[in-house]
Amino acid sequence: MARLDGKVAIVTGAAQGMGEATARLFAAEGAKVVVCDILEDKGKAVAADLGADNALFHSLDVRSEEGWAAVVAAAVAKFGKIDILVNNAAVVHFSPIEAIEAADVERVLGINVLGVILGAKHAAPEMTKSGRGVIINISSVDGLRGCNGLTAYTASKWAVRGLSKSLAYELGPRGVRVCTVHPGGVNTQMGNPAGLSGDALNVGYERVPLQRIGEPEEIARASLFVASDDASYITGAEIAVDGGWSAGYYQPMLPGAPEVLSK
């Protein structure tokens, strides 16, 4: 039996990358999916591929209160309810602290944090009506640590982590679970902007225990687990899907150090 049979999910940033992979996997597992993005042509193509009975595209700037209200209304009008919200839409901004502009910070926090808050605000009442629901907020490995040159992005992903824990307490008594998923490097336009492939794709990932970049489908599968009834007693949790990147600091074996043997 499909793990999301009869469920209705909203996925933001679903026109490409992790969001698209999540929308496709959820649909394959039986969910009706509202595909949300500002990239209308790509988003419509994803929804069309999933089929009119299974998916709906809705243009959404996640910073817009009116936009969220319209998405929720459209989801309920077509599919009757909302069971799952995946707040995936996000942007990254690299800058030394001296060069960062207020507008850059406002954009990152607007999309990465305000968007998540507004999504929860508008989806929670519909979930409350049925006494159950799941909100999955996509944070980052950088929501578990610091990262040089990513001040605004890191701040936003820590914020997502904190607000999700608060939402877990607030919404838990209503039957709504809230968790964060923390991807590491992922082979998407954000994680691989140069479009590298083959051996070049994993250069620099020697510091990660699994020594490779992740694929969007691997992040989607973690979200699938959290969204499913298999995770029915999990809320307020942080799921790291980062190849072990957050486990610690990578230190190559020093010359002359004793070899560690496994029995």
Q: Catalytic site residues?
A: 153
- Pick from 22, 7, 23, 91: nearest CA to 57: 23
* Cα–Cα distance measured from residue 116 to residue 138, given in angstroms and rounded to the nearest whole number: 9
Could you give the C-alpha distances from 73 to 77, 87, 122, 251, in angstroms and in order?
A: 6, 17, 9, 51
Phi, psi of 196 (to 5 degrees): -65, 155
Q: Write the single-letter amino acid at 44.
A: K
Nearest to 36 by CA among 98, 88, 91: 88
